[in-house]
Amino acid sequence: MSRSVLVTGGNRGIGLAIARAFLEQGDKVAFTYRSGEPPKELVDAGALAVRCDITDSAQVDAAYKEIEEKHGNVEVLVANAGVTKDQLLMRMSEEDFTSVLDTNLTGTFRVVKRANRGMLRAKKGRVVLISSVVGLLGSAGQANYAASKAGLVGFARSLARELGSRNLTFNVVAPGFVDTDMTQALTDEQRAGIVAQVPLGRYAQVEEIAGVVKFLTSDDASYITGAVIPVDGGLGMGH
Q: Is 139 in the site for ligand NDP (CB under 6 A)?
A: no
Nearest to 148 by CA among 55, 32, 63: 55
- State the nearest-atom distance from the C-beta of 36 to ligand NDP, in Å: 6
CA distance 35 to 63: 14
Q: 75 CB contacts (<8 Å, ≥6 apart)?
A: 3, 4, 5, 118, 119, 122, 124, 125, 126
Radius of gyration over alpha carbons of the chain, in Å? 17
Piece of 89-97, 136-144, 176-184, 194-202 that binds ligand NDP (CB under 6 A): 176-184
Dihedral-angle region of residue 123 (phi above 0 means left; psi in -120 to 50 means alpha; beta otherwise): left
Residue 223 is a catalytic residue: no
Piece of 8-16, 114-122, 187-195, 215-223 that binds ligand NDP (CB under 6 A): 8-16
Q: Is 82 in the site for ligand NDP (CB under 6 A)?
A: yes
Q: Between residues 124 and 234, which has the closer beta carbon with respect to ligand NDP?
A: 234
Piece of 63-71, 77-85, 190-198, 216-224 that binds ligand NDP (CB under 6 A): 77-85
Which residues in this chain contact ligand NDP in the complex, by CB under 6 A? Answer: 8-9, 11-15, 32-35, 52-55, 80-83, 103, 107, 130, 132, 175, 177-178, 180-183
